[in-house]
């Protein structure tokens, strides 16, 4: 035979009910497949001769079943194009309830995400094509839990020159993002106590807890994390480049104090290089890891520079943690998908990644400047880098109520304290990375109205 069922557009398994009779059973099986979507509108069905041979029935029975379903409107039959599934009337979608509608704001100025519309699709496609064209066949097999050597080598060079990270390829582990890296490190720590910045992202605290860690807060002030407040913890998670959500940069004296603390107690510093590539008013601050590579686990991702959908992150680990983390990674998901790793390596090696980061830095700086022009004399913090600003307001609840009424979504500082209290400072976290370029001016207009009490 020169053709077969799967050559007709669908690969469909039918089980006609023999008790209903051959023709009636076949009709019902096809009718059910159309109704539940296994046979999509426009899908071509096999010829009656082929169908009869597959099911062990006569061609006449198959033709009679087709004719009946054509008459009912389930199928269409035209000379020269065969028998196909008809376009059925669309079933009206359920109306979303009020709560679901409320969760979809008209304007989104929440922090934490880039402008995904700026994803470099053309450059990524070129890198993907080159990567696939040159990839060895073993790239499609199970791989090293540490990740593809091509990406680890590319990152070694990039992180060294762009972020000041001491990153030999053998000390890099590729992950499916920052969250996985944080969870893996928590699992391999000998002590379960992990200090985390206060305020900080609640979701990350929950990641540590679910990985078996015990979270203790350590306050952040205008100079960053207060090292003198660290106790007997054997690990601390910090965001030295651009603390979230306050936006402060870890002061040089605090950097030295933190690395001295880690060396003295044999502790681990987990460096979340949050917004490390996006500094606007001067050269980016180098990674803390370069000061103490034996005490710092450096974590970075492509989520802000490219997009969260890629699920590509990396850890640069002290030598004594590499094997333990690689083993934890192996038993977590074996390894991060390989094709995206190869594409990112190609993007870095061709310097297309650098060009994209520079273009994004310029775009986000312009957005930040427009936000500052709008805010005028209001007190704004954390604007030297990143994709968000912290705006002081006297009453978070009042402003957020106005924002909700206008369909504007914002972040609020109160949600980020370990133990919320009325005496804690209040503020709005305004993310200027999320909106698409064409929507950003409208979002700012609504924000101005909300802040002015309109």
Q: What is the pLDDT of residues 163-182, one digit of tens each?
A: 999 999 999 999 999 999 99
Of the candidates 266, 271, 228, 274, the residue with the CA atom closest to the CA atom of residue 247: 274
Separation CA 427–CA 383 (nearest Å)? 14
| Domain ranges, ordered by start, for the chain | 5-85, 102-116+355-451, 119-353
* CA 355 vs CA 359, 384, 417: distances in Å: 6, 21, 37
Question: What φ, ψ does residue 382 adopt, rounded to 5°?
Answer: 75, 30
Coil/strand/helix, residue 184: helix
Q: Assess whether pLDDT exceeds 60 at residue 413.
A: yes
Instruction: Tell me what the mean pLDDT of segment 371-379 comes to.
Output: 87
* C-beta separation of 450 from 403 below 8 A: yes
3-state secondary structure 329-357: HHHHHCCCCHHHHHHHHHHHHCCHHHHHH
**Which spans in 119-177 are helix H?**
121-134, 149-163
Most confident of 9-18, 214-223, 373-382: 214-223
For the chain, counts of helices (H) and of strands (E):
14, 15
Torsion of CA 425, 428, 432, 433, to 10 degrees: 70
Separation CA 325–CA 45 (nearest Å)? 51
Residue bearing tokens 């080598």: 153
In the sheet that holds 296-301, the strands lie side by side as: 172-175, 313-316, 296-301, 268-272, 235-238, 193-198, 214-221, 224-225
CATH of domain 102-116+355-451: 3.90.1150.10
- Pairing between β-strand 193-198 and β-strand 214-221 as defined by DSSP bridges: parallel
Prior bond of 199 cis (ω within 30°): yes
Instruction: Tell me what the mean pLDDT of segment 239-256 comes to.
Output: 94
220: β partners: 225
pLDDT of residue 94: 53
223: β partners: none
Most confident of 32-36, 50-54, 218-222, 382-386: 218-222
Separation CA 221–CA 223 (nearest Å)? 5
- Does the fold of domain 119-353 match that of domain 102-116+355-451? no
Q: What percent of the chain has pLDDT over 70?
A: 93
* CA 323 vs CA 139, 171, 303, 407: distances in Å: 22, 9, 26, 49
Looking at 171-267, which runs of residues are DSSP E strands?
Answer: 172-175, 193-198, 214-221, 224-225, 235-238
Q: What does the block give as tokens for 148?
A: 């593809």
CATH of domain 119-353: 3.40.640.10
Q: Assess whether pLDDT exceeds 70 at residue 99.
A: no
* C-beta separation of 33 from 25 below 8 A: no
Separation CA 242–CA 272 (nearest Å)? 9
Of the candidates 367, 376, 380, the residue with the CA atom closest to the CA atom of residue 436: 367
Q: What does the block give as tokens for 76?
A: 């269409």
Instruction: Tell me what the mean pLDDT of segment 321-341 comes to.
Output: 96
Neighbours of 433 (CB within 10 A): 25
Q: Assess whether pLDDT exceeds 90 at residue 363.
A: yes
pLDDT band for 101, please (50, 70, 90 cuts).
very low
Residue bearing tokens 């680890």: 152
pLDDT, one tens digit per residue, over 278-297 is 999 877 788 999 999 999 99
Lowest mean pLDDT, pick from 75-79, 154-158, 197-201: 75-79
The CATH fold assigned to 5-85 is Arc Repressor Mutant, subunit A (1.10.10)
Separation CA 146–CA 173 (nearest Å)? 4
* CA 369 vs CA 266, 353, 362: distances in Å: 43, 24, 11
pLDDT of residue 5: 42
């Amino acid at each position: 035979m020169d053709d077969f069922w799967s050559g007709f557009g669908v690969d469909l398994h039918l089980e006609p009910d023999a008790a209903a009779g051959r023709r009636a059973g076949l009709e019902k099986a096809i009718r059910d497949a159309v109704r539940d979507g296994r046979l999509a509108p426009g899908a071509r069905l096999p010829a009656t001769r082929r169908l009869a041979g597959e099911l062990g029935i006569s061609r006449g029975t198959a033709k009679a079943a087709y004719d009946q379903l054509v008459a009912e409107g389930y199928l269409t039959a035209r000379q020269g194009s065969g028998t196909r599934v008809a376009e059925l009337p669309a079933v009206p979608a359920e109306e979303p309830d009020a709560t679901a509608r409320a969760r979809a704001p008209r304007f989104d100025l929440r922090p934490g995400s880039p402008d995904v519309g700026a994803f470099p699709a053309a450059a990524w496609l070129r890198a993907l094509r080159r990567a696939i064209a040159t990839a060895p066949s073993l790239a499609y097999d199970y791989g090293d839990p540490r990740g593809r050597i091509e990406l680890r080598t590319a990152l070694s060079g990039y992180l060294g020159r762009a972020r000041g990270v001491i990153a030999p390829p053998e000390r890099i582990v590729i992950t499916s993002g920052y969250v996985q890296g944080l969870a893996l490190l928590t699992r391999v720590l000998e002590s379960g106590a992990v200090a985390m910045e206060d305020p900080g992202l609640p979701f990350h605290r929950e990641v540590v807890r679910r990985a078996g860690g015990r979270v203790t807060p350590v306050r952040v002030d205008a100079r960053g994390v207060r090292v003198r407040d660290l106790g007997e913890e054997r690990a601390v998670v910090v965001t030295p480049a651009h603390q979230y959500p306050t936006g402060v940069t870890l002061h040089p004296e605090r950097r030295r104090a933190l690395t001295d603390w880690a060396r003295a107690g044999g502790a681990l510093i987990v460096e979340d290089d949050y917004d490390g590539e996006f500094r606007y008013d001067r050269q980016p601050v180098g990674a803390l890891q370069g000061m103490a590579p034996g005490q710092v686990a450096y974590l970075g991702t492509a989520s802000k520079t490219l997009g969260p959908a890629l699920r590509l992150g990396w850890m640069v680990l002290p030598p004594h943690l590499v094997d333990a983390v690689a083993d934890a990674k192996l038993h977590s998901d074996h390894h991060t998908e390989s094709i995206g790793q190869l594409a990112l390596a190609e993007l870095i090696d061709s310097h297309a990644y650098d060009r994209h980061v520079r273009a994004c830095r310029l775009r986000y700086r312009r957005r930040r400047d427009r936000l500052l022009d709008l805010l005028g004399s209001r007190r704004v913090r954390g604007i030297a880098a990143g994709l968000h600003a912290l705006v002081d307001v006297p009453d978070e609840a009042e402003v957020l109520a106005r924002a909700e009424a206008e369909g504007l979504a914002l972040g609020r500082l109160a949600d980020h304290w370990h133990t919320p209290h009325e005496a804690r400072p209040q503020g709005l976290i305004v993310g200027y990375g999320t909106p698409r370029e064409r929507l950003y001016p409208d979002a700012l207009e609504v924000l101005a109205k909300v802040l002015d009490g309109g």
